[in-house]
Amino acid sequence: MATLETFYEVMRRQGITRRSFLKYCSLTAAALGLGPELVPQIVHAMETKPRTPVLWLHGLECTCCSESFIRSAHPLVKDVVLSMISLDYDDTLMASAGHHAEAILDEVMEKYKGNYILAVEGNPPLNEDGMFCIVGGKPFVDQLRKVAKDAKAIISWGSCASFGCVQAARPNPTRATPVHEVITDKPIIKVPGCPPIAEVMTGVITYMLTFDRIPELDRQGRPKMFYSQRIHDKCYRRPHFDAGQFVEAFDDEGARKGHCLYKVGCKGPTTYNACSTVRWNEGTSFPIQSGHGCIGCSEDGFWDKGSWYARQSDILQFGIEANADQVGTTAAIGVGSIIAAHAAVSALKRAQHKGDV
Amino acid sequence: MAPLDDAKPVATPDEEGTAAPAAGRFLKAIYVYEVPVRVWHWINALAITVLSVTGYLIANPLPSMPGEASAHFLMGYIRFVHFAAAYIFAVGFIGRLYWAFAGNHHARQLFRFPFWDLHWWGELILEARWYLFLARKPKLYVGHNPLAQFAMFWVIAVGSVFMIVTGFALYSEGAGQGSWQDRLFGWVIPLFGQSMDVHTWHHMGMWAILLFVMVHVYAAVREDIMSRQSIISTMISGVRTFKDAEVPADEEHEAPAKRVKHAG
């Protein structure tokens, strides 16, 4: 870690020809939805900018974000990790362990103070002083606060870091808390999903390195380029929705014909993600394509918006599992009964006092 | 009495009353609801009906259509009708809000909630007692009684705003980021948490309005039959007729204000 090489230098050292390098830049531009006139800008950035140190911390999580990340195809995660960023600390990926690993953390924090990117996978539990998640003998929340202090920006990987995900689902016994509620003084890029799409993860990193700024974010802090539309808006089964053709049960004719999964609880209409465009595993498929509705894994609190097989979510405030229509119908029957009884009493009263009024 | 000054000559005490089974005639007539209020009421009623039916069908779609997708657009039409009715509902509400300023003092009642008026609360309790069969006679009102005003303020005035705001927020999801719906109402989605919760609340709003409609229709029919003033015909003709000579409770302190307005 003496002096950081530029991306281009690293790629050339790995035997990549300039021609391949330029192709790579063009592909990256296309993946980010940029026009051809911006390719030279990417080339220039790659040729001149030193690699950015990234520290990747793991809190309460399942490592599905890392699993997704290492499967990125465009760009290949190999290129991201070895050429683009300087992934100096990632306890699940790095070779060193124990005190050696922790020493690197301190070294990078000191050397690149205010210039490194902090990537957080998972979130800190705050109950019992954070004792539900211990990293290197200390509560994870302490490590997070320490590393976040001098970071340039923070990437919240996955729904855990962005919104809390399953460990923050009701009743959330460990008080798992999303990163943005713990670290409030740094720019935070939320990349939700359980896990996020690999190409979305590498795409966000590529954008940040290329343009040296964080991507444009929406109201909830997610990069607009990947999270500005719902699954529903770009779903290939959308024509069936508009036509009113639905899968009524998972083994019916509609399911075989690939009709819309709305009635079996698809959360596509309420979920912002790039699954229906970027898809998964090198663009092979995504949940809806495989015949299962979207579960809305990139939405805030999706674990508590059940069932995954019903369009209307249960309202837990009523103590029983009931959706808006069930609550409304019950209330309407109640009010209807009261009205009927009231009308009957009114008629009786009137008969009693006939001629009084 | 003052109200007769404002009474339209359409109704005179000598004419046959519309719904007065006891007397068969009425003694007094006051012009209450101006044309825009009446037109809005019925357009709004129609819009609420259409919105509720189509809204329910959006959440619980009809049985699947047979054949090819290219031959149908059922869900698309249902959503289109919902959105079209929603625009009518929203524009109508804005028009009604304007009329609260431009119209007579009865047009303002829907948007008023006299929280600090102890006298008003007293009359509200009296009206509630009448509906619980605890009071022998309700008070007479030219406009809405306090109990009706309470329900209308919260369900129709506040409820409509809630449905318009959440509705346009949901519409903005389809209209896309940067659309005027998104710029004006997009902030609602993160306020509630996410889109799912906005859907749920929008749905609950529908049920609240439907419960109001049930009570509203029942109370209007019942009052028309049992009380001493007209209700249903008033929302058609605009004229409230009274079957006896008792002075309405809201006449004294509201009529002078009206007279001042007419003088100025």
Can you tell me the mean pLDDT for A249-276? 94
Touching check for A305 and chain B: CB below 8 Å? yes
Residues 6+ positions from A231 with CB-CB distance below 8 Å: A267, A268, A269, A271, A272, A273, A275, A276, A288, A294
Of A327, A241, A215, nearest in space to B74 by CA:
A241
For residue A329, give how far its alpha carbon lies from the nearest alpha carbon of chain B (Å): 8
**How much is the pLDDT for A86?**
80
How far is CA A353 from each of CA A271, A295, A347, rounded to the nearest angstrom? 61, 62, 10
Q: Which CATH number fits domain B42-63+72-232: 3.40.30.10, 3.30.70.360, 1.20.1250.20, 1.20.950.20?
A: 1.20.950.20
Element (H, E) at A188: strand A188-191
ipTM value for the complex: 0.85
d(CA A66, CA A68): 5
Tell me what the mean pLDDT of segment A69-88 comes to.
80
Does any CB of chain B come closer than 8 Å to the CB of residue A324? yes
Kindly determine whether residue B75 and residue A259, on different chains, have CB atoms separated by under 8 Å.
Answer: no
To the nearest 10°, the Cα dihedral for A101, A102, A107, A112?
90
> Is A293 at the interface with chain B, CB within 8 A?
no
* 8 Å CB contact between A154 and A179: yes
State the DSSP code for B140.
P
In this prediction, residue B24 carries a pLDDT of 52
Of residues A4 and B68, more confidence is placed in B68
Q: What is the mean pLDDT of residues A172-179?
A: 95
Burial of residue B97, with CB atoms counted within 10 A of its CB: 0-12 exposed, 13-18 middle, 19 or more buried: middle
Which residues 197-226 of chain A have a CB within 8 Å of chain B? 218-220, 224
Is the pLDDT assigned to residue A41 strictly greater than 90?
no
pLDDT digits (tens, 9 = 90+) for A264-322: 999 999 999 999 999 998 889 999 999 999 999 999 999 988 788 988 888 777 666 78
State the Cα–Cα distance between residues B145 and B248, nearest whole angstrom: 10
Do residues A241 and A262 touch, judged by C-beta distance below 8 A? yes
Size of interface A-B (CB pairs under 8 A): 132
- Report the pLDDT value the prediction gives residue A77, as an integer from 0 to 100: 82
A242-264: average pLDDT: 95
Task: For residue A342, give how far its alpha carbon lies from the nearest alpha carbon of chain B (Å).
Answer: 8
Give CA separation, A293 vs A120, A195, A254, A255, A309, in Å: 28, 16, 13, 11, 8
Tell me the C-alpha distance between B5 and B255, whole Å: 10
Burial label for A168, CB within 10 Å (0-12, 13-18, 19+), is: buried
Question: Which of the residue ranges A64-73, A227-236, B35-44, B94-103 would you say has the lowest mean pLDDT?
Answer: A64-73
Verify whether the Cβ–Cβ distance A243 to B75 is below 8 Å.
yes
Short-list B245, B208, B242, CA closest to B228: B242
What is the pLDDT, as a whole number, of residue B230?
86
pLDDT at B152: 94
What token pair was written down for A10? 């690293």
Tens-level pLDDT at each residue, chain B (264 residues) = 344 444 444 444 444 444 444 445 667 888 999 999 999 999 999 999 999 999 999 999 999 999 999 999 999 999 999 999 999 999 999 999 999 999 999 999 999 999 999 999 999 999 999 888 888 888 888 888 999 999 999 999 999 999 999 999 999 999 988 899 999 999 999 999 889 999 999 999 999 999 999 999 999 998 888 877 888 889 999 998 887 777 787 765 444 334 434 433
Helices (H), chain B: 3-6, 35-59, 74-102, 105-108, 118-131, 146-151, 159-175, 180-185, 188-192, 195-226, 234-237, 255-263
Give the mean model confidence (pLDDT) for residues A123-147. 93
| Residue B130, phi then psi, degrees to nearest 5 | -65, -40
Is A230 strand, coil or helix? strand
pLDDT, position A209? 79
Task: Report the pLDDT value the prediction gives residue A286, as an integer from 0 to 100.
Answer: 95
* pLDDT for position B9: 42
Which residues contact residue A33 at a Cβ distance below 8 angstroms, ignoring those fewer than 6 apart? Answer: A225
- The whole-angstrom separation of Cα A180 and Cα A189 is 9
Residue B256 pLDDT = 39
Q: Which of these, A137, A161, A131, A136, lies nearest to A61 by C-alpha position? A: A161
Angle between helices B195-226 and B159-175 (to 10 degrees): 150
Among the partner-chain residues A243, A272, A312, the one whose CB lies closest to the CB of B69 is A243
- Left, alpha or beta for A133 (phi > 0: left; psi -120 to 50: alpha)? beta
What digits encode the pLDDT tens for the residues A97-132? Answer: 888 888 888 999 999 898 899 999 999 999 999 999
The minimum CA-CA distance between A332 and chain B, rounded to whole Å, is 6
Q: Residue A324 is nearest to which of B131, B174, B203, comparing CB atoms?
A: B203
Contacts of A170 (CB under 8 A, 6+ apart): A303, A304, A316
pLDDT of amino acid B14: 40
